[in-house]
Amino acid sequence: MKKRIAWLTSAVIVAILGIALAAGCAAIQKSDTLDMERTLSAAGFQMKLADTPEKLAHVTSMTQRKLVPHQKDGDIRYVYADATYCKCVYVGTEKAYQRYQKLAIQRQIADEQRQAAEMNQDAAMNWDTWGPWGPWW
């Protein structure tokens, strides 16, 4: 009986940890998707909501959360479909795509600079000056 209770307790703990991990991954994915959609919008992509069941079915059938080039009337259009979060598509011209690439590079550089600044700030803290902080030091 004790073995069964221990096994059930372990199973519950593993299930809770799995749910927490999945929720954390979903939150990161949603954040990344929102960043992408903000960048697309800033670059000049037009957003269209899937506001009917037919449109939502079409958005769902498309490649999800990736920029995909499509030809239309001899021009290339870039399409980003998101059936999960915004239930929409973003469509942009070649010029909008070029602006998107520039913005994405600028965002990457800004992120790298922010990370470097945070590391420099942590190094400058000089924790040893403050002495021990608790029973673990």
Count of domains in the chain? 1
Instruction: Quote the crossing angle between the two packed helices 94-124 and 2-43, to the nearest 10°.
Output: 120
Q: What is the pLDDT of residues 38-60, one digit of tens each?
A: 999 999 999 999 999 999 999 99
Instruction: Say what the pLDDT of residue 21 is.
Output: 47
Arithmetic mean of pLDDT, 75-80:
97
Domain membership flag for residue 74: yes
**Domain that includes residue 103, residue range:** 34-121
The yes-or-no verdict on residue 92 having pLDDT over 80 is: yes
Domain membership flag for residue 48: yes
The yes-or-no verdict on residue 99 having pLDDT over 70 is: yes
Place of tokens 């593993």: 14
Q: pLDDT confidence of 6, banded at 50, 70, 90?
A: low
Domain membership flag for residue 135: no
Domain membership flag for residue 21: no
Which residues is 75 bridged to in the sheet?
72
Domain membership flag for residue 17: no
The DSSP line for 7-58 is HHHHHHHHHHHHHHHHHHHHHHHHHHHHHHHHHHHHHTPEEEE--SHHHHHH
Integer Cα distance of 34 and 30 in angstroms: 6
